[in-house]
Amino acid sequence: MQEKSIPAQEVLKELKTKLEKDLSFNSGKIIGSMCTNPHPIAKKAFCLYIDKNLGDPGLFPATAEMEREVIKALGALLSNPNAVGHIVTGGTEANILALWAARNLSRQEEGKKEVILPVSAHYSFEKAADLLGLKLVKVGLNKNFQINLEEVRKVISSKTLAIVGVAGTTDLGVVDPIPELSEIAEKNDIYLHVDAAFGGFVLPFLKELGYNVPEFDFKLSGVSSITIDPHKMGLAPIPAGGILFRSNELRNAISMRVSYLAGGEMEQATLTGTRSGASLIAVWAVMRCLGWEGYRKVVSHCMFLTEKLVNAIGEVNGVEVVVPPIMNVIGLKSEVFDIKKIAKELRLRGWAVSLFPSHIRIVIMPHVKEEHVESFIKDLKDIVRKMSG
């Protein structure tokens, strides 16, 4: 950093040039990300209330009250208006908090260190296990890319601390059989966490839209906690993840009292101390502005475009979808071409797709418009045609 001050106007100009290389959601080229352009009201609210700190709720009691309102609303969306929890930095923190609670709840029971989860689970569980001294027991998938229940039953033992099911996997948007996992968890008295970081803001609306959606939430009595991220399909600015516990007793397992704060004594159950109130207020604002009706429309349009893309892929020789998509996540594979080469060609044409070991992931987020999908299809067809010739 230089010694002398620089006028703000100049710094802003500098920022503009320095950030030119970043992609923008508005370009429509980001077609493999789980984040999107935040809703305008969320951006506005975020900027207006940037100074709020939920780490000292005594200073910001109204913001803290709004967090309870958001959690109650998300709880209602997930079939439990009595759920408790927090808006945190993202799905990673939410997943860590869930396993932290599970570990603390079973602290008395020596040797309970294993977490059973599908190989498709997000890498945040690796971080959680490393931090918490837990061992991940990874289970394979069935032909529908869901956790293999037979294997789950086999690996359960007296060492099992928790089971994780995913409602909207990172790579394919697949939903694990949560009703069966819930039954298994209850029968064996094991903590069940559902990672609906992406699916939480999709599945309830798909259900209302008449799609055949499997149960995945607190309606299932074995579900202890759920991750649901507003900064993915919730149209909120980063950072905004969500962790919901079935009851206060579970949340209390990770809560601690802090007595010296300017706002007075408080108790906290998040990883971070100081944390953004603006994020939470932005989540509140976008939920209020859209209402469930608004989210339903967003999801409905994303699914319309997803289906359009799937149909178009069906017409391209040599490429196919990995599995018919349940939500707005599409896996693209090929038995004929090198999928990495297709990804490379797409990227050369500016398409920011995700690349998994054997497939390309496309996510039709709200910033992806019909013309973007059409132009993507055109490019895909062209690439495949050139590769065939």
What are the residues binding ligand 0PR (CB under 6 A)? 33-35, 90-92, 95, 122, 124, 166, 168, 170, 195, 197-198, 229, 241
If the CB atoms of residues 35 and 254 are measured against ligand 0PR, the closer one turns out to be 35
C-alpha to C-alpha distance for 286 and 233, rounded to whole angstroms: 11
Q: Which residues pair with 166 in a beta bridge?
A: 195
If the CB atoms of residues 163 and 166 are measured against ligand 0PR, the closer one turns out to be 166
Least distance in Å: CB of 195 to ligand 0PR?
Answer: 5
C-alpha to C-alpha distance for 220 and 79, rounded to whole angstroms: 9
If the CB atoms of residues 120 and 160 are measured against ligand 0PR, the closer one turns out to be 120
The number of beta carbons lying within 10 Å of the beta carbon of residue 327 is: 28
Least distance in Å: CB of 225 to ligand 0PR?
Answer: 13
Q: How many residues does the chain have?
A: 389
C-alpha to C-alpha distance for 172 and 323, rounded to whole angstroms: 8
C-alpha to C-alpha distance for 375 and 353, rounded to whole angstroms: 14
Q: How far apart are the first and last CA of the chain?
A: 53
79 neighbors 244 (Cβ within 8 angstroms):
no
147 neighbors 118 (Cβ within 8 angstroms):
yes
Report angle CA 119, 125, 130 to the nearest 5 degrees: 120
For 34, phi then psi, to 5°, come to -100, 5
Tell me, what DSSP letter sits at residue 27? G
Least distance in Å: CB of 94 to ligand 0PR?
Answer: 7
Least distance in Å: CB of 358 to ligand 0PR?
Answer: 16
71 neighbors 283 (Cβ within 8 angstroms):
no
Least distance in Å: CB of 209 to ligand 0PR?
Answer: 21
C-alpha to C-alpha distance for 285 and 237, rounded to whole angstroms: 11
Tell me, what DSSP letter sits at residue 38? P
If the CB atoms of residues 55 and 241 are measured against ligand 0PR, the closer one turns out to be 241
Least distance in Å: CB of 127 to ligand 0PR?
Answer: 9
Least distance in Å: CB of 361 to ligand 0PR?
Answer: 7
Least distance in Å: CB of 366 to ligand 0PR?
Answer: 13
If the CB atoms of residues 195 and 217 are measured against ligand 0PR, the closer one turns out to be 195
If the CB atoms of residues 31 and 269 are measured against ligand 0PR, the closer one turns out to be 31
If the CB atoms of residues 95 and 182 are measured against ligand 0PR, the closer one turns out to be 95
C-alpha to C-alpha distance for 16 and 7, rounded to whole angstroms: 15
If the CB atoms of residues 74 and 166 are measured against ligand 0PR, the closer one turns out to be 166
